[in-house]
Structure 1
Amino acid sequence: MIEAAKIWNEPNNKSHWDLQLDPEWEKFAELAILTGTAIRAVHPTLPRVLGGISPIDPSFITNMKARGVLEHVDIVAVHGFPLDWNLWQIDEWPAKLAEIQALVALPVWVTEVGVSSFGAEQVQAWGMQRTAELLSGRAPRIHWYSLYDLPSAWEATTRHREAEGSSYYRHFHMGLLREDGTPKRALESYEQHAANIGLCQWFHFEDHRLGQAVNWMRRLGVRHLRTGLSWADSFRPRALDWFDRQMDALAEFDVTVTFCFTPEHLGVEPHHTSPPREPERFAEFCASMIERYAARPAAGAEPQPLTSAMA
């Protein structure tokens, strides 16, 4: 069920890791090493993914390499949104990917790539098709973000919310499906690539869209899914009941599960982007989730190669 375990989400993005509290990523590196070690201790072969970087910044990877982090992960991941948030053009995707591939002796996955329909659905549909053309065969795993639009009554997981202007509101229009579940134009483009390009879909705590999402993914022929289990949510009442329900519903897919979000009471500061005061506790949470949801291989089994039909 679990194909890989991802350590944090966008650690070089200030919306997901507080750079004022950890400007050189020293605390993050410690957390990543502890977590990679803990995951390996409970599962001898499960691939460990360094949280997808956004922006795609070679200097961050160089920093992680110097701090020894790459010795405790098996995959490096990147995220890119050139038609919405990045300061580069969509045709630069191969070059951006190659920059990171040149720095590491590890597979590089694209675990979030997407285009919003904020301006026009035609732009999203074209962007989906062009992304597939540019990345096919260049990365062993690609995840399109996302299946559903973010409901307008919810908040996007960013630090500054509405103060970000139109950048904030683009978060609500990244789906192939509208908030009400009706398809956008890009869905038809995605369906042509669903067997080879997975999805990234974040499910909120007790998310009402879970069953509908599974039905859509079956219908589309999706094989690979990236989602998350929130450390902060693990302190909610009935948290394990929700985690069990979510992971059971997703059991038929190859899931890359992302672990992130600091509980407020455990952070250096009370915010989900804060480094935890005790990073060992995050590592313990990740290891416990792997023990619960990732079957250990039979004795003597060889790790499976991390390839796809695109590679």
Structure 2
Amino acid sequence: MKKRGIGIGISFYGTGYGNGFPDISRAIIRLLPKGKIGIYCGVTEVGQGAKTSMRQIGAEVLGLTVEDIELVHENTSLMPDSGTAAATRQTYNTGNAIKVACENMRDELFEKARIQLGLNSTVGLILEKGEVVLSFFPQKRISYEKLSEIYIGDDTIETKGEFIAQTTQMDPENGQGAPYWPYTFNACAVEVEVDTKTGIVNLLRSTFAQDVGRAVNPGLLEGQMDGGFAMALGYALLEDLNLQNGKMKNNKFSKYLIPTAMDMIDINNIIVEDPESTAPYGAKGIGEPVMIPIAPAILNAIYDAIGVRITELPVTPERLIKALGEAEEKKIG
């Protein structure tokens, strides 16, 4: 018999190292030949879209397109430490460091333009498509490219930025404190179909809402949500190491099953924007939290369908049939 059920999972997640641990990101911004801007920082790309979003933040500050920004982040001899690609911290921490460094670069470009344009001060200067322009007399302008030709070698225009996340260590006596900041929130609803004869669980549809602060790149965010859902689907229904006496029995992908495109469903992703005042343009990271509510939602949906609470993952057909049998025995007993 096939039965359907709906389940909901919700979560909140504190980003960064937390608990008062120093959480520092640094960045260097350099004016490159042809008026390009180089961002040098240790933001590691692990599939979360750092190569794109960090350049977007820099481009926004400096009035450029993403194509005008070069990101150098895989050569430790050239870049400062920006911390690990962990704890969903890079968008918030390193994004803030890049924003600070680019704001410092903006001020430096204003000052160098003031000198070259023979102005009294930097008042009224703005950045406009790769040029520094005197807003109320736009005939007075100079391009980034021209400045890069003037300031070369030891005089190359360069600025730095640093950001330290604000967290406090929890009080060991009472457990009080502010161990993380910021927090991100999400909720997921899933409908499943459970075959009580075979123990197979099929996902039918899902709606997934994720708080992102502000969406720097909505496409990347939806990709992250889809990826987190897929990982959690495997965690909930498929991936089983089958440890026996400390040995992995499912030690190859022919036995250790992971979700494929055929296992995934179309997800109704909802991006919730509530800008975080301390974040770069309000953006929060969502790297890890997108996985957290999915498995609880699936388990709740299974419970709603069959009235039996599964407490061991993954919910393989064998485990589900066993749980149904045990529940039936209790009824009879």
- TM category, shorter: under 0.3
Q: Which has the higher strand share?
A: 2
TM-score when normalising by structure 1? 0.21
For the pair shown, the structure with the greater C-alpha radius of gyration is 2
Q: Which has the higher helix share?
A: 1
